[in-house]
Each structure stands twice: as structure tokens, then as C-alpha cells.
């Protein structure tokens, strides 16, 4: 998983690749719980670039995308948002996989 460094970087990835953006923060206990399963999820969906976005570092991106709870996921294809799994609730590995499998082909 690549960690976002600039907003421009995110915009370029969204234009050029299929992206799953994970909004997270160091202090978020629910975010820490899903960390161990993320590498396996990434391997399961190799057609996506997984990007970690620190909520505190990129609060404007969160506001622009109505991300008010973490961990949350946004999916992009062909430069457009195609799915969101956004809430403040804890997410299980199964729920994350179900979200990605439910995205448009």
C-alpha cells in the first residue's frame, strides 16, 4: 500500500489507475485492527492501487469527499468515484472484500 504524500499525487493516480483509497489515522484503533489483513486484500485485488490517506494530514481531501469517519474506503475507476464504504464503524476483512467485489467491473 502506498502512502499519499500530496493531493496532486492522488489526482494523478485517480486519472491513471483503479484506486482504492483507505482513509485512516495513527490514533484510530479500528484502523489498527484491519492493518494485518490489508496486504492479503491487496494481493486478492491486483487490478487496484491501494493508497493510504492520513486523515489528519489530508483533512481537506476528507472534507471534499465527505469522509467523516475512519477507517473508510473510496474506490475510483476511469477518474470517477465508483464506490464508497464510509462510516465510523469498525470494518471486517469480509466486509472490505465484499465492498471491493461489489464494485463495477
Cβ atoms of residues 69 and 16 within 8 Å: no
What digits encode the pLDDT tens for the residues 23-75?
Answer: 999 999 998 999 999 999 999 999 999 999 999 999 999 999 999 889 999 99
pLDDT at 82: 96
User: Residue 79 belongs to what domain range?
Assistant: 2-101
Which pLDDT band holds residue 88 (cuts at 50, 70, 90)? confident
The predicted model scores a pTM of 0.90
CA 77, CA 18: separation in Å to the nearest integer?
Answer: 5
pLDDT at 80: 93
pLDDT at 3: 95
- Any idea what the CATH number is for the domain that residue 90 is in? 3.40.30.10
Q: Lay out the sheet containing 19-24: strands in order across.
A: 2-3, 49-54, 19-24, 72-77, 80-85
pLDDT at 86: 87
pLDDT at 14: 94
Q: Domain count of the chain?
A: 1
> Distances in Å between the alpha carbon of 24 and those of 67, 78, 104?
10, 24, 24
> In this model, does residue 22 exceed pLDDT 90?
yes
Amino acid at each position: 500500500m502506498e502512502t499519499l504524500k500530496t493531493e496532486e499525487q492522488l489526482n494523478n493516480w485517480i486519472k491513471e489507475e483503479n484506486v482504492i483509497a483507505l482513509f485512516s489515522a495513527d490514533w484510530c484503533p479500528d484502523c489498527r485492527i484491519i492493518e494485518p489483513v490489508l496486504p492479503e486484500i491487496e494481493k486478492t485485488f491486483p487490478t487496484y492501487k491501494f493508497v493510504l490517506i492520513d486523515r489528519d494530514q489530508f483533512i481537506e481531501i476528507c472534507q471534499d469527499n465527505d469522509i467523516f469517519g475512519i477507517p473508510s474506503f473510496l474506490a475510483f475507476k476511469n477518474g470517477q468515484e465508483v464506490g464508497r464504504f464510509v462510516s465510523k464503524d469498525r470494518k471486517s476483512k469480509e466486509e472490505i472484500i465484499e465492498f471491493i467485489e461489489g464494485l463495477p467491473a
